[in-house]
Every structure is written in structure tokens, then in C-alpha cells.
């Protein structure tokens, strides 16, 4: 696909495109240089980790995650570090987010929703039994593999700054507000198990209804609805599912349904087949301590050359069902990322994006062939942050990926529509078009 050989390597892995971004970390697609196995690498800034006094918590939770081998939890393979960053090598899940499935296809039939919900409960029950709590469960953190099975991502790693106090409770308010339990919002401490179950109840409602049970543009009104569990199940949801959702969305964590009670629920048990897997595995935890050592012997090498060149392997990983045509379609599905191709030089593409974004009120930060655009005006879910990266597909052809890093997905699509209008002279179209 390309004659260019410039790539970026971290230890024994060849890095590709960014597939996710958050406050503390960025996730890159990668492959093992020797075996060709696809993985996802979560990259943490070591300075931020030290500044926020998160070292011991990360070491504890990463060590726990390495011991968790469950078919419905994304597997952590390896931990590495350079002088400035920490790298978590994770299982690469090909099927995308459950969020996209809901947005693109709407509410699910009860049998389909029940299958995903059973897999979710089985996964969190397993992890809770090992002292690992998610604290940010939502459809965006639930991935689907190539067989349509659910995989929980960021289990135990999504809320790195939280600490358990002497009372045995967590005290940091976090997560996506629409999915957060009322006790998390009142700042009096909460139990990770019951808080996760509330979030699972919201997820089940979304799967069956196709919309959120608690939603309001006013944050205070939203919190009030959550605190008093002000919601109503639509008429098409069966009585069994409605009863279960009501018990999960109980604003009192002391009377909320427990996992053991949920496993005996009639609606839940229908067709339930817990996964059979081998829990016994020889896991080496030496690398968990080593990542925080200052000794050079524990540091992996980083080789950075830009722009990155995409080969056939990368293109296949970016498409669903190996259909490469969807990569370059002008009308893509409702997603948190989109792409276009251009025959213009990479430097010209960067300049054009910057020129188009600034008049829209975006602060622009550039680094090599990557950009971060931040809207200075807050939207429905805070400031919209957008990242862009230019990849070389062939010597005279580039692919530009535009991704929402933070903020509201609808606002992102409105921004991209405006941006694409300003980039008409840059976007490549075939002779047929």
C-alpha cells in the first residue's frame, strides 16, 4: 500500500493510529513486530501519574488486572515503560463499541439485550470478587469482539485517581453523569459494587429503550432526577425486565438488588449460560514494579518518525468486516471518529485544518502531523476536544482521521460537517465522483 518505511516502535511493538483518548491516557492500535498479533496500547504520562500521587494505586490495579483472565473482560498482556511514559499492552477487540451499535440501530430485542447484559453481569461479578471496581460503566466502555461477544474495557483503570479511605468507601465523584449512581453524587462515600450495579441498570435500560433513563441539559435537574430515580420504562419493555431495572435503579444502595439476587431473577436467568474458562494461569507480575524503576534496564526504547505510514494490515484493522470501502465513504455511520483522503501534502492539510478551526473558536495545538483542537466555549458535556492525525497511505495519498477526544458526540458531528465544508479543496475525490 505504501513505499514509505517510517514507523513508530515501542519496545517490540509497532504503533499505528490513535483509537481512543482520555484525561490520563491515550490508546493506540499496535502489532507485535515478531508475531504480527494486533494489540491496543494504552499510554500513560508518567509525570501526570507522579504529580497526582497515583503510583501505588496504578501498581495495585494493574497487578490485579494482570490476574484477571475472563472471556468478557479485555485482557492486559504486558506492562512497559520509557523514561516518560507507561505502556499497558491490551487485547485488541475488533468489533467496535456497543455504543455505536445502539446509536446506529436503535433499541434491541430483549433476547439480544439480555445476552449482552448477562455477559456484563458475569464479568463485573467476577471482577468484584477480586476487589476490582469499574466506576465508569457505560456503552462506550463495552466492546464487541468479532463473534459479537461483549468485552468490558478499562476495568479498574478508568478512574485512576480514586482512593479508598479509612471508612472503606470511595469518595471521588467520577464517571459519566447519566450513568452514575446517586450515592456517588452526594459525596458521602459509596461502595464500588452497588455503584457499578446502578450503572448496569442504566445500561440495560438503554439497550431496551434506545435512550437514557436520566437526561437533562441542566446538570442540577439531572442530579435531582438521578437522586430520586425519576424515570419510567416505555410500554414495549416487558414486565420482567421493568421489574429488574426498577430494582437496579433503586436510589438507596442498601436496598438495591445484589448480584446474587440478580442471578436468581427470572428475566435474567432465561437462557443464561455462564462462560466456562480456565482461571489458572501463570502470570508474571515483575513488570508491574519495573515500570516505575528509574534504572535504564527497565526502559523500553521509543522510536518516533512522522508521519506514520499505513499499510494493508492497518487498513484492515480500521474497517469492519474487512470492507475497505467504508474507510473512504463520505457518508459514514454516526461515530465518534471519521476519515477522509487527500492528495495534498501533509503540511498543507495541517495548515488548512488549522485555518478552518480557529474561526470556529477552537484553540489549536500542533505536534508533527497531529493536532488537538479545543473549543473554548463549553457545550452540553464540557469543552469539545477534537484530535486529528495525518497518515500516509501511498506516496501521493494521505488519510486524515478526525476523532472526538472529549465532549458531546452530536456536537462533534456538527463540527465535522462545518470543517469538511471548509476543506473542499483538500479532500480528494475520484474521477467518478
Class of residue 83 by CB neighbours under 10 A (exposed 0-12, middle 13-18, buried 19+): exposed
Dihedral (Cα; 282, 283, 287, 288), 10-degree rounding: -150
Residue 425 appears among annotated catalytic residues = no
Backbone angles phi, psi at 257, to 5 degrees: -60, 140
Mapped onto helix, strand or coil, the DSSP state of residue 365 is: strand
Give Cα 70 to chain centroid, integer Å. 18
What angle (nearest 5°) sits at the alpha carbon of residue 394, between those of residues 392 and 398?
A: 40
Query: Which residues are within 8 A (CB) of 37 and not within 5 positions of it... i.e. 6 or more apart?
Result: 31
| Euclidean distance between CA atoms 313 and 311, whole angstroms | 5
| Euclidean distance between CA atoms 115 and 72, whole angstroms | 12
Q: Which residues are annotated as a binding site for ATP?
A: 42
Give Cα 419 to chain centroid, integer Å. 24
List the beta strands (DSSP E) in 106-207.
142-144, 150-152
- Look at strands 382-394 and 397-406 and give their pairing: antiparallel
Q: What is the DSSP letter of 93?
A: P
The interaxial angle of helices 239-248 and 192-209, nearest 10 deg, is: 150
Q: Which residues are annotated as a binding site?
A: 42
Neighbours of 73 (CB within 10 A): 25
Give Cα 408 to chain centroid, integer Å. 14
| Euclidean distance between CA atoms 272 and 389, whole angstroms | 43
Question: Catalytic one among 100, 125, 136, 250?
Answer: 136
| Euclidean distance between CA atoms 373 and 387, whole angstroms | 6
Give Cα 373 to chain centroid, integer Å. 19
Dihedral (Cα; 164, 167, 172, 176), 10-degree rounding: 90
Could you list the active site residues? 136
Amino acid at each position: 500500500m505504501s513505499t514509505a518505511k517510517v514507523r513508530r516502535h515501542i519496545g517490540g511493538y509497532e504503533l499505528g493510529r490513535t483509537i481512543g483518548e482520555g484525561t490520563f491516557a491515550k490508546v493506540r492500535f499496535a502489532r507485535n513486530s515478531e508475531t504480527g498479533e494486533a494489540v491496543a496500547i494504552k499510554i500513560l504520562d508518567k509525570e501526570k501519574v507522579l504529580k497526582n500521587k497515583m503510583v501505588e494505586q496504578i501498581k495495585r490495579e494493574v497487578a490485579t488486572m494482570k490476574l484477571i483472565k475472563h472471556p468478557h473482560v479485555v485482557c492486559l498482556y504486558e506492562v512497559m515503560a520509557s523514561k516518560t511514559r507507561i505502556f499497558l499492552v491490551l487485547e485488541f477487540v475488533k468489533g467496535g463499541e456497543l455504543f455505536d451499535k445502539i446509536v446506529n440501530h436503535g433499541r434491541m430485542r430483549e433476547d439480544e439485550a439480555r445476552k449482552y447484559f448477562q455477559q456484563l453481569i458475569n464479568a463485573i461479578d467476577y471482577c468484584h470478587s477480586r476487589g476490582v471496581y469499574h466506576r465508569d460503566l457505560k456503552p462506550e466502555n463495552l466492546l464487541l469482539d468479532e463473534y459479537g461477544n461483549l468485552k468490558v474495557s478499562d476495568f479498574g483503570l478508568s478512574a485512576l485517581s480514586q482512593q479508598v479511605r479509612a471508612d472503606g468507601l470511595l469518595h471521588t465523584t467520577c464517571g459519566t453523569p447519566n450513568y452514575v449512581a446517586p450515592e456517588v453524587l452526594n459525596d458521602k462515600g459509596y461502595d464500588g459494587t452497588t455503584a457499578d450495579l446502578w450503572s448496569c441498570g442504566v445500561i440495560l435500560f438503554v439497550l431496551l429503550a434506545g435512550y437514557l433513563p436520566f437526561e437533562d441539559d441542566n446538570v442540577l435537574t439531572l442530579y435531582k432526577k438521578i437522586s430520586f430515580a425519576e424515570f419510567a420504562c416505555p410500554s414495549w419493555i416487558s414486565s420482567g425486565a421493568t421489574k429488574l431495572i426498577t430494582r437496579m435503579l433503586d436510589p438507596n444502595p442498601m436496598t438495591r438488588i445484589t448480584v446474587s439476587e440478580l442471578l436468581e431473577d427470572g428475566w435474567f436467568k432465561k437462557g443464561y449460560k455462564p462462560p466456562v474458562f480456565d482461571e489458572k494461569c501463570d502470570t508474571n507480575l515483575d513488570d508491574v514494579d519495573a515500570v516505575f524503576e528509574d534504572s535504564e534496564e527497565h526502559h523500553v526504547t521509543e522510536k518516533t518518525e512522522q508521519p506514520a505510514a499505513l499499510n494493508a494490515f492497518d487498513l484492515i484493522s480500521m474497517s469492519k468486516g474487512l470492507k475497505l470501502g467504508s474507510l473512504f465513504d463520505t457518508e459514514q455511520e454516526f461515530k465518534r471518529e471519521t476519515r477522509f483522503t487527500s492528495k495534498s501534502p501533509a503540511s498543507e492539510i495541517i495548515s488548512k485544518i488549522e485555518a478552518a478551526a480557529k474561526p470556529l473558536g477552537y484553540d489549536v495545538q500542533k505536534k508533527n502531523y497531529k493536532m488537538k483542537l479545543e473549543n473554548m466555549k463549553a457545550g452540553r458535556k464540557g469543552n469539545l476536544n477534537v484530535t486529528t492525525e495525518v497518515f500516509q497511505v501511498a506516496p501521493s495519498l494521505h488519510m486524515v482521521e478526525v476523532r472526538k477526544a472529549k465532549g458531546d458526540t452530536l456536537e462533534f458531528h456538527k463540527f465535522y460537517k462545518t470543517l469538511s465544508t471548509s476543506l473542499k479543496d483538500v479532500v480528494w475525490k475520484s474521477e467518478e465522483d
